[in-house]
Amino acid sequence: MFLPDTVTLCDAVELAAINLGKNLSDVDIAKQFFPGQEMAEVEADIHDVFELAKARKAACPSMYPFDVTDRSISSQIVRAFNTYIFLLLGRSLDFGGPATADTLLRRFRKYFEDVVRWAFRKSGLVAEVLSIPRAPRGLSTELVPALREIATRFVEPAILREDRLMPHDNDLDVDVLAIPLKGNGDRGGWPTFQIQCATGEIKDLESKISEGALNFGTVWEKGFFPGCRVRGAATPDDLIILNDVYWHRLGQAGWILDRTRIAYLAGGRQNVRLPQPVREYWQELWAARSEISWQTGWQGGT
């Protein structure tokens, strides 16, 4: 599974629009990304970028921070945390550039889970991060009390079978748990979204969903039934133009939340405070935007 080069080129163009702070025409883009080539040679590639950017805007209109026409793109003024830009910058760290890129990328992978949870909550769902570290996220460090606390918060009258847990179990292959609304406590069996956060290579996304997909449901009685499970994966990649065959395969495995879908969820109207550690990391990530090698790094990005 792989993404077309248009995806990473569009990411790079968006970064250019942010960093250069001006309206970029098709001619500007040709000069920045294809120096020495004739416009006729790259016109189709640039056209595809604009088409993808327009599709991204349509997919998450309230959160997409760019203005796009058939022949230009410009960045809107960003004064606060923006989910789309957070995911764009985090994924673009793979382009290289910042001296602290490895550290920033490691922390992005950690806080990506928190942003996914936050996006769920913004849309009115109840959500928790089960993966470690749990204490800063409001759950017990130990897995057993953390699982019981989640059942309580979800009002799911499920009984935990500790004998079905292994000593080295961490999160039962679920990073983020979410439900559409709290149960009423009479019987278990409310729908549960069980999300794996996948910040690695796109080729591993399908296996990330299927790996350990049933584990969470094996440790409960009278609730969290496998039949009520919706398995899924969240990725900072944009999959809008992923080949239809690949998308069909992913759809058989579970609910896929890509960059624009996460941003769409984050556009919900619920008043949910962004976790303070994410706010602090966002400031560092935003400060590093001009150091990312957007002009050349995209060529080896996907």
3-state secondary structure string, the chain? CCCCHHHHHHHHHHHHHHHHCCCEEHHHHHHHHCCCCCHHHHHHHHHHHHHHHHHHHHHCCCCCCEEECCCEEEECCCCCCCHHHHHHHHHHHHHCCCCCHHHHHHHHHHHHHHHHHHHHHHCCCEEEECCCCCHHHCCCCCHHHHHHHHHHHHCCCCEECHHHCCCCCCCCCCCEEEECCCCCCCCCCCCEEEEEECCCCHHHHHHHHHCCCCCHHHHEECCCCHHHEEEEEECCCCCCCCCHHHHHHHHHHCEEECHHHHHHHHCCCCCCCCCHHHHHHHHHHHHCHHHCCHHHHHHHCC
* Residue 85 and residue 115 in one domain: no
Q: Per the structure, how many domains does the chain have?
A: 2
What percent of the chain has a predicted confidence (pLDDT) above 70?
99
* Residue 166 and residue 249 in one domain: yes
Each residue of 162-188: pLDDT tens digit?
A: 999 999 999 999 999 999 999 999 999
Beta strand 176-179 pairing with 220-221: unpaired
* Residue 89 and residue 43 in one domain: yes
- Contact (Cβ atoms closer than 8 angstroms) between residue 193 and residue 126: no
Domain containing residue 12 = 5-98+284-294
Q: Is residue 63 part of a domain?
A: yes
Q: What is the Cα 289 distance to its own chain's centre?
A: 18
Each residue of 75-124: pLDDT tens digit?
A: 998 889 999 999 999 999 999 999 999 999 999 999 999 999 999 999 99
For the chain, how far is it from start to end, CA to CA, in angstroms? 11
- Predicted confidence pLDDT, tens digits, the chain (302 residues): 899 999 999 999 999 999 999 999 999 999 999 998 999 999 999 999 999 999 999 999 999 999 999 999 999 988 899 999 999 999 999 999 999 999 999 999 999 999 999 999 999 999 999 999 999 999 999 999 999 999 999 999 999 999 999 999 999 999 999 999 999 999 999 999 999 999 998 999 999 899 899 999 999 999 999 999 999 999 999 999 999 999 999 999 999 999 999 999 999 999 999 999 999 999 999 999 999 999 888 887 44
* Residue 21 and residue 117 in one domain: no
* Residue 29 and residue 118 in one domain: no
* Residue 156 and residue 234 in one domain: yes
Q: Cα–Cα distance between 62 and 60 in angstroms, integer?
A: 6
Whole-number pLDDT of residue 301: 43
Q: Cα–Cα distance between 221 and 78 in angstroms, integer?
A: 48
* Residue reference for tokens 């969470």: 216
* Residue 55 and residue 138 in one domain: no
Q: Is residue 74 part of a domain?
A: yes
Q: Is residue 39 part of a domain?
A: yes
* Residue 211 and residue 126 in one domain: yes
- Whether this prediction's pTM lies above 0.75 is answered by yes
Mean pLDDT of the chain: 95
